[in-house]
Amino acid sequence: MNDKQRSILLDISSRFSPPQGVKLSYGTSGFRADASLLESAVYRVGLLAALRSLKTRAVIGLMITASHNEISDNGIKVADPSGGMLTQDWEPFAESLANAPDSYTLVEILDDFVKKEKIALDGEWAAEVFLGRDTRPSGVSLLEAAKQGVASIVKANAKDMGVLTTPQLHWMVRARNKGLEASEHNYFDQLSSSFRCLLELIPQGSRIVGTNDKLIVDGADGIGAEKLESLKGLLNGLCVEVRNSGNGVLNEGVGADYVQKEKVVPRGFGPADVGIRCASFDGDADRLVYFLVQPNSNKIELVDGDKIMALFALFLEEQLSILNKSGDVTVRPNQTRLGIVQTAYANGASTSYLKQLGLEVVFTPTGVKHVHEKAAEYDIGIYFEANGHGTVLFSEAYLCYLEDINSNLSLTSTEKQKAASRLLAVSKLINQAVGDALSGLLLVEAILQHLGWSIQRWNELYHDLPSRQLKVKVLDRAAVVTANAETVVVKPSGIQEAINAEIAKYHKGRCFIRPSGTEDVVRVYAEASTQEAADGLAYSVAKLADQFLGSTNS
């Protein structure tokens, strides 16, 4: 690092002093905290993003959002060249930057890292970082801090992409690094055109009738509502009403996280909506769940991420079965690898249903970084968490195969060409960089119309097993070591045998514990054939965690 670069860093970073007594950790959500604590961290992540761009010779993204958290919180996360999350190898660097106590220590950390990674600060490549933020008021000042961070690295440029959903920014980074146009207009155009293509390929006779023609979307009073209002004008064949579009408080009594956890109607919904298909976004529109308002109650029938994944899997498997019929397709018949990736939090009924379809279901530890990486190993990989975050990934080789079929004029089966066209349209409609409520919503709607299903018919695919989640405050969450995608406790010794003994007492019982990634707690998840049994199993295992780990409640 030359003297000029060092001088710039010392000068600008001195204006962004870190808060005293605060230690930040970079997790799945990047850095997230009360917005008042984040200005220094956001500035420093701007530095990291510029270095990451120089290292990869690609555009990097920075998104300022706290997703489904309350409006007083905010956060910052990095989008890598693929549009996915920051590589885990750089997470320790992010934490060391954010927690450096002063400017001199910060510059030393930067200098050491630049040397270790052999990053050319004075090379020909000019770094480029796309910046986005959601609708939180604190995002305005934090965006300026991010700009200052990027500008503190010589030959680094920040481009403000505007107020966006998180998935839009990830999509733009991915598109730009593929050499494509990467504006919001391009994003809307790709979604609307691929949605239209899927509708045009619907078999004759498939349609949804009656009240199900209407879709009502809870926008969580966030950015997703604003973007859906813009997008719906480009859509034919879908009647959408957007509620909670910014007049209320972000994520307060609204949104996918609230709906999924509380299982009650969000603000602005009531008895007049009984029987109508409803959906809910979270604050930055990277989560999607559906629901039905129950009559004479504020309760809902939840159609969560597990069922969205089941719907996608059913449709994709149908198209693959058409392609794999014996006949005139000469390329890789019956060899397509369709993989379903779940975490231990997936409801057991969803796993059983997917396996009954003959699909390959695999499990990873909790966290998008784990499920996304595993899904990328397949020709088509699907992952969804119950909270409504997920997507579908297509390998480049498989997309080339589909293009070959689609353009093969010697095919005698137009059905095979239609199936290939549908799969190609899905690959363009779904956001392959990250979970996206807008693109996911359109894919759900296209598939329901293709199948001629109501939301009630979709919800009957299987019935969730009753479940219960608890958390136990412990002295040291690191004392819990797990294996087998966090379903088995290896340490402390003896606790897994005790958990197994409790599970054996319950019909269809399943339970696991895992350490939280952010709090000094152990999380408990339990399922059983009845709600009473699931509750009993969860509480009994929570007591075991208390006994073996020394709860702070003791």
Active site residues: 67
Write out the DSSP string of 118-162: T--TTSSPPEEEEEEE-S-TTHHHHHHHHHHHHHTSTTEEEEEEE
Residues 6 or more apart whose CB falls under 8 angstroms from that of 262 comprise: none
Q: Are 390 and 435 in contact (CB under 8 A)?
A: yes
DSSP element (H, E) containing 297: none
Q: Let me know if 476 is exposed, middle or buried by CB neighbors in 10 A (0-12, 13-18, 19+).
A: exposed
Rounded CA-CA distance 55/65 in Å is: 25
**Structure tokens that stand for 412 in this block:** 């005698």
First to last CA, the chain: 52
Rounded CA-CA distance 490/316 in Å is: 37
> Phi and psi (nearest 5°) for 281?
-95, 165
**Structure tokens that stand for 115 in this block:** 């040397």
Rounded CA-CA distance 174/182 in Å is: 8
510-515/521-527 β-pairing: antiparallel
Q: Are 64 and 132 in contact (CB under 8 A)?
A: yes
Instruction: Tell me the HSE value of 188 on the side-chain side, using a 13 A CA sphere.
Output: 16
